[in-house]
Amino acid sequence: MASSAGPDFDIVETRDLSRFYGRRKALANVSLSFKAGELVALFGPNGAGKSTFLGVLSTLLRPSAGDVTYGGRTAQDLGDAARTRIGLLGHELFLYGDLTARENLEFFGRLHGVTDLDARVGDALAAARLEARGGDRVASFSRGLRQRLALERALLHAPRLLLLDEPFTGLDDESAELLVARLRQLGGRGTIVLIATHDFDSADGLVTRGVCFRNGRTRDLAAGSGTLRARYRATLQEDWT
Amino acid sequence: MTSHSRLVPLLLGVAVVMFAAAPFVIDTAPYESSMGLVQRIFYFHLGAAMTMLTSGLVCGIASARYLAKRSASADHLAYAAVELAVLFGTMVLVTGPLWARKAWGVWWDWEPRLTSTLVMYMLFVAYLLLRRFGGAGSEVLSAAIGLFGMALVPFVYISVNLWRTLHPKTSVLPTLPKPMLVPALFCLAAFLILYWALLLIRMRMEAARAEIDAAYLSLED
Amino acid sequence: MIGVFRAAWIIARKDLLVETRSRELVYTTLFFAVSCVLVFAWAFVREGKPIDNASAGVLWVAIVFSGTLALGRAFERERQSETLRGLLMAPIERAAVYLGKLFALLVLMILVEIVLVPIVALFFHAPIGRAPWLLAGLLVVGTVGFAAVGTLFAAMLVRAQSRDVLLSIVLYPVTVPVVMTGVQGTAAIFAAEPDFGLAQTCLTLLIFFDAVFVTLALWTFAPVMHE
C-alpha cells in the first residue's frame, strides 16, 4: 500500500461513547461497531450528533465518557500513528485555494509519508478526472471539482477508515455519480466508510447499513425493502428509549 | 466534602479574629522613619501582594494539571484561584498608589514591584475575559494562559527591574527591620487564611455548578 | 510516520509557498507596520525633531501590533477552509504543526522588520549602523519570543468566539517581558551614550525567555489542540 506501515485494523467499535459540552449532550452512550468493507450511512437532523461522532472517530475530538477502539486498541494506545489509517473529509474540504491541485495532493502526500509520490498523485488526479487541471489553482474549481480532489486527498494514504461529513452537498449529478462509484470501489477493497448525509437518493443503492441519530442517541435504520428515506422516517417513529 | 464544610467556617472565624487584632499587632511595630503613619498601609499591601502571587501559583499548577489530566476539580481550582488573584491584585493596585501618593507625592511612579503586579494582573484579567467570552471549550485555552502566566512571573520581575534600574528611586523597600517582621507576618498569615477560606468557598460554587450541569445532562435521558 | 522536523519543514514550506502566491500577508502587514510608525511620528516628533530615543519604542510597538495582525490573519485563513483540521489529521506529531507555522511566521515578520528598521531610522534619526549585529540579534530573538507565544495562542483561539480581540488580550500581557527587554536593549544601542553591555544583557534575557517559552509551547500545543 502507499503509506508507511501503521497499525491496521478491520473493526472499529465505540462503547458507551458520550460527549458533552456543559449542559448539552452531543453524543449519549453510543455503542456501535463497524467492520471492514461496510458502507454505512449516518442519518439525522442537524445537531443530532453526526459530525461530533465523526469527529470523535477521527481522533480530533476526545470522548467525555466511553471509548473508541480500532482493532481493539484505543486512540490513546495508538498515538499519532492512528491517523495513518484514518481519512477525514469534512464540510470544508481542507484544500488550499492558493495552491494547485497537484500541489495540494503533494503536500498532504508528503505529510503522510506516501512513497512513490509522483505516481500516486498522478493516479489520484486520474481517479478524480482532473488530470487536465492538475496545474490550476484550487480556488478556481467549482464545488464538485473540489470535492473530487478532496476525496482523493483523503484517500492518498489508503486509509482503513474513511469518514465523510455531508460529501454530497452542492454536488452536480456527474460528480455525485463519480463519488458513489469511488466509494463502492473502496468498500470492495475493505475500507470502512461512514457517510453522514442528508442525501437519501445518492446513498440509496450504495450503503449496506444505516444508523440514525437523534439528540445524540443512535438507532439502527429500520429494516425493510423500501427506500432509505422511507425507512428513515419509519425509524423516527419508533420508540427510542 | 464534610471536612471542608467544617473547615471553611473555622478559617473564616480565624481570619476575622486576626484582622480584628491586626491594628493592635501593627501598633507594636515602630513607625518607619521617613513616612510615619502612612507606611502602615504596607502591612496590608504586602499581605495582598503575596496572596495574589500565591493564587497565581495555585492557578498555574492547577492549569498544568488540567491540561494533563482534564480533571474538572483542577479546572475549578484554577478558575477560583484566578478570580481571587484579581481580587487581591485589585487590593494591591489600590493600596500601592494610595501609599505612593502620601509618601512620595505621585499616584504612580512605575515602582518595579507594583509594575510587575500590574502586568500579572492584566494576565489574570485576560484569563477571565477568555473564560467569559471565548465560548465553549475555553477551559482548556485558559488553562494554557494560567500555565504561561505562572512561567512568566520570574521574567516579568527581572525585565521590569531591568527596565527600572536606570532610574532608581527611594521607593525600593529597605530590608525589614525585626520589629516590623512580626506584624508583617501576622497580617500575611491573616490574608492567607482568608484566601484559603475564599478559595474553598469558590471551588465549592464551581463544583455545584458542575453538578447542576450534570443533572441537566442526565435529565435529557 | 515522518519525523517531526521534516513534517514541520513541509508545513512551513507550504505556508511560504501560499504566501508567495497571494502575498496578502506580506503586503498588508508591512503597510500596517509603516502606518503604525507614521502614527507614532505624529505623536513623537516635535518641530521636525523626534523626541529623545523614541525610536526603540516605536520600532517594537510597530512590530508587535503588526505581528498580532499577521498572526490573526494567518490563522483565520486556515480556519476558513478548515485546513488546520486537515493538518491535525495528518499522522505527524502535533508539535510539527506548531513548529511549521512558527517558522513561516518568523520568516514573514523578519522580512517586515528588514523593511521597517530603515524606515524607523529614517523618520526617527536612529543610529542603526552603530551595532548592527547586536541590533539584529535583539530583533530576531525578540521576534522569536513573540512569535512562539503568538503562534500557540492564535492556534488555540481558532475555534473560540471573539477570537480576534481575544488574541490581543491574551498575547500582550504574556509578551510584556519580550517587548520591555527588547526596547530596553534597542534603546541602549540608540542612546546618545550607548550601553552595549546592557544591550547584551537584554539579549541574554531574551534568549532565556525564548528557550523557556518555546519549550512550554511545544508541551502545551498537543493537549490544547485536542478538543
Query: 501503521: which residue's cell?
Result: A6
Please indicate, yes or no, if residue A185 is contained in any of the structural domains: yes
Residue B152 CB partners (closer than 8 Å, separation 6+) = B120, B123, C173, C174, C177
CA-nearest of C158, C204, C160 to C182 is: C204
Position B169 pLDDT exceeds 80: no
Judge: B159–C212 Cβ closer than 8 Å, yes or no: no
Rounded to two decimals, the pTM is 0.90
- What is the band of B8 on the pLDDT scale with cuts at 50, 70, 90? confident
Chain mean position to CA A170: 17
% residues pLDDT > 70 (chain A): 98
- Mean pLDDT on C48-59: 87
DSSP letter assigned to residue A62: -
CA dihedral B188, B190, B196, B198 (to 10 degrees): -120
Task: Please tell me the predicted confidence (pLDDT) of residue B184.
Answer: 84
Task: Please tell me the predicted confidence (pLDDT) of residue A1.
Answer: 41
Least confident of A84-98, B13-27, B67-81, B114-128: B13-27
Task: Please tell me the predicted confidence (pLDDT) of residue B217.
Answer: 80
Number of domains in chain C: 1
Chain A interface includes B27 (CB < 8 A): no
The count of CB pairs under 8 A between chains A and B is 15
- Mean pLDDT on C138-164: 93
SS (H, E, C) chain B: CHHHHHHHHHHHHHHHHHHHHHHHHHHCCCCECCCEHHHHHHHHHHHHHHHHHHHHHHHHHHHHHHHHHCCHHHHHHHHHHHHHHHHHHHHHHHHHHHHHHHHHCCCCCCCHHHHHHHHHHHHHHHHHHHHHHCCCCHHHHHHHHHHHHHHHHHHHHHHHHHHHCCCCCCCCCCCCCHHHHHHHHHHHHHHHHHHHHHHHHHHHHHHHHHHHHHHHHHHCC
Kindly tell me the number of DSSP H helices and DSSP E strands found in chain A: 8, 10
Position A80 pLDDT exceeds 90: no
Are A29 and A77 in contact, with CB atoms under 8 Å apart? no
Please indicate, yes or no, if residue A166 is contained in any of the structural domains: yes
% residues pLDDT > 90 (chain A): 49
CA dihedral A39, A43, A47, A51 (to 10 degrees): 10
- What is the band of B174 on the pLDDT scale with cuts at 50, 70, 90? low
% residues pLDDT > 90 (chain B): 45
* Half-sphere exposure for C63 (CA within 13 Å, toward CB): 37
Position A190 pLDDT exceeds 70: yes
Task: Please tell me the predicted confidence (pLDDT) of residue B178.
Answer: 67
| Residues of chain C in Cβ contact (below 8 Å) with chain B | 149, 152-153, 156-157, 159-163, 166, 169-170, 172-174, 176-177, 180-181, 184, 201-202, 205, 208-209, 212-213, 216, 220, 223-224, 227
Task: Please tell me the predicted confidence (pLDDT) of residue B19.
Answer: 86
CA separation for the pair A26, A141 (Å, rounded): 34
CA separation for the pair A67, A178 (Å, rounded): 34
Please indicate, yes or no, if residue A142 is contained in any of the structural domains: yes
Burial of C196-223, coded b for 16+ CB within 10 Å and e otherwise, reads eebbbbbbebbebbbebbbebbbebbbb
CA distances from A38 to A206, A222, B19, C130 (A): 10, 17, 71, 71
Q: Record the cell numbers describing residue B138, joined without a space.
A: 475555553
Alpha-carbon radius of gyration of chain C: 18
Please indicate, yes or no, if residue A17 is contained in any of the structural domains: yes
Question: What range does the domain containing A85 cover?
Answer: 11-237
The count of CB pairs under 8 A between chains A and C is 84
Question: When comparing pLDDT for C224 and A7, which is higher?
Answer: C224
Number of domains in chain A: 1
Please report which helix (H) or strand (E) contains residue A16, including its range.
strand A11-21
Counting beta carbons within 10 angstroms of the beta carbon of residue B73, is it exposed (0 to 12), middle (13 to 18) or buried (19 or more)?
middle
ipTM: 0.90
% residues pLDDT > 70 (chain C): 100
For B:51-80, CB contacts with A below 8 A are 70
CA separation for the pair A92, A101 (Å, rounded): 16
Q: Is C191 helix (H, G, I), strand (E, B) or coil?
A: coil
Position B130 pLDDT exceeds 90: yes
CA distances from A90 to A146, A154, B128, B167, C51 (A): 12, 10, 33, 58, 55
- Mean pLDDT on B155-168: 78
CA distances from C187 to B158, B166, C124, C198 (A): 18, 12, 12, 10
Are C124 and C51 in contact, with CB atoms under 8 Å apart? no
Smallest Cβ–Cβ distance between B134 and the set C166, C176, C223 belongs to C166
- Mean pLDDT on A216-222: 89
Task: Please tell me the predicted confidence (pLDDT) of residue B111.
Answer: 85
Position B1 pLDDT exceeds 70: no
Minimal C-alpha gap between A17 and chain B (Å)? 14
CA-nearest of B134, A197, A117 to C167 is: B134
Angle subtended at Cα C218 by Cα C10 and Cα A95, rounded to the nearest 5 degrees: 35
Query: 491594628: which residue's cell?
Result: B23
Strands A65-70 and A161-165: unpaired
Long-range contacts of A46-50 (CB under 8 A, 24+ apart): A48/A213, A48/A214, A48/A215, A48/A216, A49/A213, A49/A215, A49/A216, A49/A217, A49/A218, A50/A165, A50/A196, A50/A213
DSSP letter assigned to residue A208: S
Smallest Cβ–Cβ distance between A25 and the set B70, B137, B220 belongs to B220
* Half-sphere exposure for C212 (CA within 13 Å, toward CB): 19
CA max distance for chain B:
71
Question: When comparing pLDDT for C159 and A120, which is higher?
Answer: A120
Average pLDDT, chain A: 89
CA separation for the pair B206, B200 (Å, rounded): 10
Are A165 and A59 in contact, with CB atoms under 8 Å apart? no
A29: left (phi over 0), alpha (psi -120 to 50) or beta: left
Judge: A28–B221 Cβ closer than 8 Å, yes or no: yes
Q: Record the cell numbers describing residue A119, joined without a space.
A: 505516481
CA-nearest of C33, C10, C54 to A113 is: C10
- What is the band of C15 on the pLDDT scale with cuts at 50, 70, 90? very high
Judge: A21–B137 Cβ closer than 8 Å, yes or no: yes
Q: Record the cell numbers describing residue C213, joined without a space.
A: 517559552
Please indicate, yes or no, if residue A6 is contained in any of the structural domains: no
Query: 542612546: which residue's cell?
Result: C191
Question: What range does the domain containing C133 cover?
Answer: 4-225
Task: Please tell me the predicted confidence (pLDDT) of residue A236.
Answer: 86
Position A5 pLDDT exceeds 80: no
Judge: A23–B221 Cβ closer than 8 Å, yes or no: no
Residue B172 CB partners (closer than 8 Å, separation 6+) = B111, B112
pLDDT tens digits along A94-134: 999 999 999 999 999 999 988 899 999 999 999 888 999 99
Q: Record the cell numbers describing residue B28, joined without a space.
A: 507594636
Position B2 pLDDT exceeds 60: no
- What is the band of B220 on the pLDDT scale with cuts at 50, 70, 90? low
Instruction: Give the sheet arrangement for strand A65-70, strand by strand.
Output: A24-35, A11-21, A65-70, A73-74
Position B170 pLDDT exceeds 70: no
Position A199 pLDDT exceeds 90: no
Least confident of B31-40, B80-89, C85-94, C198-207: B31-40
CA separation for the pair A192, A42 (Å, rounded): 13
CATH of residue A102: 3.40.50.300
- Mean pLDDT on A181-187: 91
Q: Record the cell numbers describing residue A101, joined without a space.
A: 491541485
CA separation for the pair B175, B182 (Å, rounded): 14
Residues from chain A contacting residue C85 (CB–CB below 8 Å): 60, 88, 90, 92, 94
| Residues of chain A in Cβ contact (below 8 Å) with chain B | 20-25, 28, 62, 215
CA separation for the pair C137, B169 (Å, rounded): 31
pLDDT tens digits along B25-34: 887 777 766 6
Task: Please tell me the predicted confidence (pLDDT) of residue A51.
Answer: 92
* Half-sphere exposure for B80 (CA within 13 Å, toward CB): 23
Are C161 and C79 in contact, with CB atoms under 8 Å apart? no
